[in-house]
Structure 1
Amino acid sequence: MTRYRFRWPALLAALLLIPTSAYAATPTETASPALAPVDYQAENATISQGVVEANHVGYTGTGFVNYNNVTGSYVQFAVNAATAGPASLTFRFANGTTTDRPMTITVNGTTVATARSFAGTGAWTTWQETVLNTSLVAGSNTIRATATTVNGGPNLDRLRVDAPTDTERPTAPGQPVCSAISFDSLTLTWPASTDNVGIVAYDIYNQGQRIAAAPASPHRLTGLRPNATYELSVFGRDAAGNVSETSPQAICTTTSDPGDPTAPTAPGQPTASGVGSTSATLTWAASSDNRGVTRYEIRNTTDTVVDSVVGTPPATTKQLTTLACNTAYTLHVVAKDAAGNTSARSGTVSFTTGACAGGNNPGKPTQFSTGWTIPWDVDWAPNGSIALVTERDNFRVWKINKNGTGRTQVGTVPNSQTTDGEGGLMGVAFSPTWNGTTDQEVFFMHTSTDNNRIAKMNFNGTTLSGYTVVLNGMRKSRYHNGGRIRFGPDGFLYVAIGDSQQSNLAQNRDSLNGKILRITKTGAPAPGNPFGTAIYSLGHRNPQGLAWDSAGRLWSSELGDSIVDELNLILPGRNYGWPTCEGNCSVAGMTNPKQTWTTASASPSGLAYANGALYMAALRGQRLYRIVLNGENVSSVTSHWTGTYGRLRAVAKVPGENAIWFGTTNADNNGGQPDGSDRLLRSNLS
C-alpha cells in the first residue's frame, strides 16, 4: 500500500527491454550486452528553441518537438550504450512544407553528418525516417540534431538507436545496516551490488516509497521524523536503467528530538456546523507550541485519523467530506509539531450525519467468520453456493458456504513465497464454467521464488490438486505486486499487476509490469488485445481491484503514490499515466481517473459492483467507499465505518443477494495485529 512519486528520466525508462518470451515463460537474461533498438522520445529530450506539441496525429510517445524557425535550434538526446561500438541512428520526422530543413548531427560533440536533408514529407501528419551510422562510446553519449538554416528543423518525433544495449540486471545489494541514528537522520550502509557493466546509483526505499538515491554506500539519510520506525531497503541500478532485486530490510527507529521535548497544548473545544449526509465542518481554537504547530489531526473514538490539516501554521477549521451517511460521530482534535510531539486531546464534539440517499447503502455489518490471517481475496463459484478465500502469507485456501458457515481448508498453493511486504498468495478466480466435475479449474496469482505468476489448479469442491503455471514473467518486488485476478464477461482472465517498485516498467510495452493484462485460460494473449500481447492497459502503479458494472465496463482501484489514489475506468489500449502522472494531468495520450482520494483516506484494494454502485475497500483509510455510477462517470461517493474495523482489503458481492462480504487485513505488517485477528463480515445493502 506504500507509495512514492518517483520519476527516473524518461530517457532511461525506454532502455529496459524484457524479451517477448515473458508472455509464455520466465524471461531469460543475457549474460552480455546485445544489439537492440531503443526509442528516445524527442519530447523528453533537451530542447533549445523548440516546443513540445501534439496537434498533428501519427506521432509516437506523448508528442513531438516543433523546432523554432531559427538557425541553431536543436534537440539533444542522452543515450547510454553498454559497450563501445557501431550504432545506427534513425530520426522519425514530419515536414509539411516543400522546403528542406537540413540539420547537422553531432555525437559527443563530433559532427557525423553535416546539413543532413530533412525534406518535405507532403503533410505534417506524414512521418518518415532517415538513418545514419556512427559509433558510440561505452556509457553516456550525447546526440544533438541542430537546424542549419533559418527555416529551423522539422517536427521531430523520436530517435531510435540500434546500439549495444545492456539487459542484465545487477545483483541485489546485501543487508543494509543503520548507524549514527539521530532524531532526524541516520547513516545507511550496505554491501554493493555487482553488474556486468557497472552500477550508477542505489535507490533507497522506506517500505514502497523511494526516499533517496545514492552513488554508493554509505549514505546519510536526512529529513527523517523523530520517534519514527523506517523499513529500509536498497536497489542497485545500472546506466541502462536495469534495477536489481531488493536487498533485505533494515528496520531502524529514530530517536526523540532532544531540542524539542515539549508537546503543543491541547486544541480548544471543537464545534460542528454544516452537517450533511456525508460532510460536516469542524472548527476549534488553536494550540500553542514553543516552536510552532505543524499539523492538526481529527480523530474518532478509536483514535483513527478521520482527516488532517497541515500548514505553517495550519488552519483551525476543516470540512470533512468523506463521512458515512446516517452515522453518529464523536470526534476530537490533536496538534503536532515538527518534532513529532503530540498534544493532549481536545474536548469531543458529537453529531449525526443525515439520511443516506440513492439506495444500496451498506447496512450495519455482521461478523460471520473469525480467526483469519490476512484474507486477501474472495471469489465465488459460478453456481454461487461456495466461495474460496486466500490467505496471503501462509498460502492457504479456504472454502466457505454462502451462508457464512462450513469454513474448511481445501489446500495450499505450491511454490508460493512471501516478500515480507505485499507479495504472497493473492488473487483467486474460478473458471467461468467451473462445476467441480468436467471443469475443475481455479486460478491463482502468487509470488514465487523468482517472479509473480498465474497458476492453475484443480478443485473438485473439496480439495485442491495439481499445479500448472499459466503465465510467468511478471516481475516481483517487496511491494507493488498488484495481485487481483478476475474473469470478465467475455470469458477471459484479467490480471492487475504492479510496477514492482520500478516505475519505468509501467510505460514499457515489453514488460508485463504496471499493467492490466487480458489472457486466455492457457495464458496466451486474449484475441482482440490492443497491442497483440497480453497487455490490455498500461501506465499503472499498483492496481488492486477489478470489477465490471452492469453495462460490462471494467473499473479498477489503484494505489497512488504520495498524492492521490485512483478509480479508473479501464479501456483497451489506454495509458493511465504512471509515472508521468499521479491522478489528473493534462499530458496528451494519458487517461485521467474518474475519482481520486487522498492517500491517507484510501489506499484502495478490493472492488465489487452491485446494483449501480461500486464498493471499494480501503487499507490506510480503514473504511468502505460506496461509489454510485452514472454511466462512465461517478455521481456520488460515501464512506462507511471509518476506523471501525481497521484495514479492509477483500470485498465481494454475494451472488443472488443484495449484500456484500468484506474482510479485514489487520494482521499484515501495517496493521500490527497478531495472526488470527482478521475476520470476515457481511453487510446487507438497502
Structure 2
Amino acid sequence: MADDLEVPWGIVFLPSGDALVGERGTARLLRVTPKGRTTTLGTVRGVVAPSGLGEGGLLGLALAPGDPDTLFAYVTSSSDNRVVRLSVAGGRVGRPRAVLTGIPTSTHHHGGRLLFAPDGTLFVSTGDAERSALAQDTSSLAGKVLRIRTDGRAAPSNPFGNRTWSYGHRNIEGLAFDAAGRLWATEFGEKKSDELNVIRRGGNYGWPVVEGRSDDDRYRSPAATWSPTSSCSPSGLAITRSTAFVGALQGQCLFAVALDGTSAGKPKAYFARDHGRIRNVVHAPDGSLWVTTSNTDGRTSPGPHDDKILRVRL
C-alpha cells in the first residue's frame, strides 16, 4: 500500500476508506488512500521522538465517534505520556489539546494503544514505564488498561473509582474487540511468555508477580501465550472472522489465533520473516488487513523501501 515510511504505528480509517497513519518518531500524520496514494497532512506538535532504541513518540490513534474531524492520539512529551485531541478538518493537523496527562514515561514500555468502545468511552493501554511495581498499584496510570471519558475523566462504573479498568500489565500495544464485544489485548512479557488476554473489568493480570499462565486465582491467566518472548513480541491486534491477528516484532510474522468465546487456539504464523518486524494490524473497511512493518526502528537492518504498509486479503 505504501513504502519509504518511518515506523508507522497508529492507523485509523476515515468514512471515505482512506486511512490516517502516524509515524512514531517523525510525528508525521499521513493520509493513505485504498489505492496507495500517500500525502502528508502535517506533524503533531509537542511529540518527543525516541532516542536510540526508545519506544515513545506518536503512538496510538482513534477517531472520535461520529466525528471524523477529531482525532485522539497517545503521545510522548518531554515529561510524560499523554492522550491529546486535535482537529484534522480540511486535511490540516490542528494544535493538540491535552485530555489525559501524567502517564509515567521512560525509554521503554509506553503502551500507547487507543480504542473507543461502543458506549463512547475510550480505552487506553499504558506500559509500566520500566517501574514494574506500578503495575500493581491501582491508583497509578502505569501498567494499566484505562477507561476514560473524552474529556479525560474516569468513565462511570470503573471498578476502583478512578481511571483504572484492569491492572498488572507490563506493556500492552494491542487492543481490539471481538464480535461479542469482549476486549482483548496483546502484552509483551519479559523473558518467559508473551500474552494474548481477555480484558475483564477490575482484573489483575499479574505483572510483575506473574508472567504467563498461573495457578494463582488472584491473577487472570492469558488465553494464549508465546514462549520464549523472542518468538513473538506482540504489538498490534485485529480481530475478525473469530480470529485474532497479531503483529509479531521479534517473531517477524503475522500470527493468526483462532478464538472460540474466551478460548484461544494455537497461534499460526504467516509470512514468517518475509517482511521483517510486524508492528500493527488493522481490520480495514473492505475486510482486508492493513499490516505495518517496523524495520526502521533501530532493531534490525531495513530492507529496500522500508517501512511499508501491506494489504492482506483474507
Alignment of 1:382-401 (within 5 A): 383=15, 385-401=17-33
Residue 216 of structure 2 is aligned to residue 587 of structure 1? yes
Question: Unmatched 5+ residue regions in structure 2?
Answer: none
Residue 68 of structure 2 is aligned to residue 445 of structure 1? no
Residue 203 of structure 2 is aligned to residue 571 of structure 1? no
In structure 2, distance between residues paired with 1:597 and 1:384: 37
CA contact (8 A) 1:498 1:515 kept: yes
- Call closer, same or farther: CA 1:576–1:410 in 2, change over 3 Å: same
2:62 equivalent in structure 1? 429
Q: Deviations over 1:264-319 (max 9, x none)?
A: xxxxxxxxxxxxxxxxxxxxxxxxxxxxxxxxxxxxxxxxxxxxxxxxxxxxxxxx
CA contact (8 A) 1:667 1:676 kept: no
CA contact (8 A) 2:276 2:293 kept: yes
Residue 681 of structure 1: which of 300, 310, 313 is its match?
310
**Aligned to 1:371, what secondary structure does the other structure show?**
coil
Residue 160 of structure 2 is aligned to residue 527 of structure 1? no
Q: State the 1:461 CA deviation.
A: 4.5
**Aligned to 1:678, what secondary structure does the other structure show?**
coil
In structure 1, distance between residues paired with 2:92 and 2:168: 38
2:281 equivalent in structure 1? 651
Residue 171 of structure 2 is aligned to residue 538 of structure 1? no
**Aligned to 2:133, what secondary structure does the other structure show?**
helix
In structure 1, distance between residues paired with 2:41 and 2:300: 27
TM-score of the pair, normalised by structure 2: 0.96
1:607 equivalent in structure 2? 237
Q: State the 1:673 CA deviation.
A: 2.5
CA contact (8 A) 2:114 2:123 kept: yes
- Call closer, same or farther: CA 1:662–1:532 in 2, change over 3 Å: same
Q: Partner amino acid for 1:509?
A: T
Structure 1 residues 663-672 or 558-567, which shifts more? 663-672
CA contact (8 A) 1:415 1:448 kept: yes
Q: State the 1:588 CA deviation.
A: 3.4
In structure 2, distance between residues paired with 1:461 and 1:504: 44
- Call closer, same or farther: CA 1:416–1:585 in 2, change over 3 Å: same
1:376 equivalent in structure 2? 9
CA contact (8 A) 2:186 2:197 kept: yes
CA contact (8 A) 2:11 2:22 kept: yes
Identity across matched positions, percent:
39
In structure 2, distance between residues paired with 1:504 and 1:539: 9
CA contact (8 A) 1:459 1:465 kept: yes
Residue 185 of structure 2 is aligned to residue 556 of structure 1? yes
Q: State the 1:434 CA deviation.
A: 1.5
1:416 equivalent in structure 2? 47
In structure 2, distance between residues paired with 1:501 and 1:680: 30
Q: State the 1:652 CA deviation.
A: 0.5
Alignment of 1:191-230 (within 5 A): none
1:467 equivalent in structure 2? 96
- Call closer, same or farther: CA 1:444–1:537 in 2, change over 3 Å: same
In structure 2, distance between residues paired with 1:515 and 1:625: 24
Alignment of 1:294-305 (within 5 A): none
CA contact (8 A) 2:7 2:23 kept: yes
Q: State the 1:491 CA deviation.
A: 1.5
In structure 1, distance between residues paired with 2:306 and 2:21: 16
1:34 equivalent in structure 2? none
Q: Of the two structures, which has the highest relative contact order with CA contacts closer than 8 Å and spacing of 6 or more? A: 2
- Call closer, same or farther: CA 1:675–1:505 in 2, change over 3 Å: farther
Q: State the 1:526 CA deviation.
A: 0.8
CA contact (8 A) 2:139 2:164 kept: no
2:83 equivalent in structure 1? 454
Alignment of 1:279-318 (within 5 A): none
In structure 2, distance between residues paired with 1:404 and 1:558: 32
In structure 2, distance between residues paired with 1:600 and 1:644: 17
Q: Deviations over 1:578-614 (max 9, x none)?
A: 0000001122311000000021110000000112111
Q: Deviations over 1:381-430 (max 9, x none)?
A: 2x2522110100111010112x2333111111111102321111111111
In structure 1, distance between residues paired with 2:225 and 2:255: 12
Alignment of 1:115-130 (within 5 A): none
Question: Unmatched 5+ residue regions in structure 1?
Answer: 1-367
In structure 2, distance between residues paired with 1:506 and 1:494: 17
CA contact (8 A) 1:373 1:676 kept: no
TM-score of the pair, normalised by structure 1: 0.45
**Aligned to 2:274, what secondary structure does the other structure show?**
coil
Q: State the 1:489 CA deviation.
A: 2.1
